[in-house]
Structure 1
């Protein structure tokens, strides 16, 4: 397992941990030092890893997440909200939108293909969520952030 020094913040951190830490920071979640217990941090890291693994599954929801995390619905909501300040569904949506952003910049796929690829069933709903979250449509985001080709 590779290790690195993450700007002195996480000495000897594994690459996987640094990736998860960066994901948490991009989502404006508290870092592990802000959590009350290390168990909360481990739980959140496991939850994010499961979300990333099943991101493209449009059927991924709280029922499936509770089975994958081996906890009740109430426990899942309580633990995720306590460690992130967000609901499990909100975190899932944010990760899907984040992945969509990178695909909009890095690929020539149609918005509908990207929406389906990140787990949305409907391109119009995806566009509505994206616009609500970022303040611009996916097409505008692509146009503004994409380097000239």
Structure 2
């Protein structure tokens, strides 16, 4: 018998975002780039600020299924830098996804938005970020994305 999977909430990343740049239709969907311009990280074992560089690179499929891959970094309160690569999916009813695209508020519970963040750091104190798997539940707002990160136990 294999061990049962469980998760534990560890921290929340709030990434502030800038204006969307559309690359256009690339044959497999619409490519969009959304800059990450700052934010914060808050949790029991880790706190800090999202650094003002990086972006979320998205492909919006014809059925509005959004594949995303965000690459950015945050700095902890004690000076460690952590690189983040976060891949995921966002999907929901077409009319709600279109409201999100226009920057209108949508109840996050009505949108499936899950990601798999991976972390890299040279800081010994935060090596546990590279020694575990994480999954996240996220919510898109007009000016930010809020990501609740859970460690897979």
Taking structure 1 as the reference length, the TM-score comes to 0.23
Instruction: Answer 1 or 2: higher relative contact order, Cα 8 Å, separation at least 6.
Output: 2
Taking structure 2 as the reference length, the TM-score comes to 0.23
The structure with the greater share of residues assigned to strand is 2
The structure with the greater share of residues assigned to helix is 1
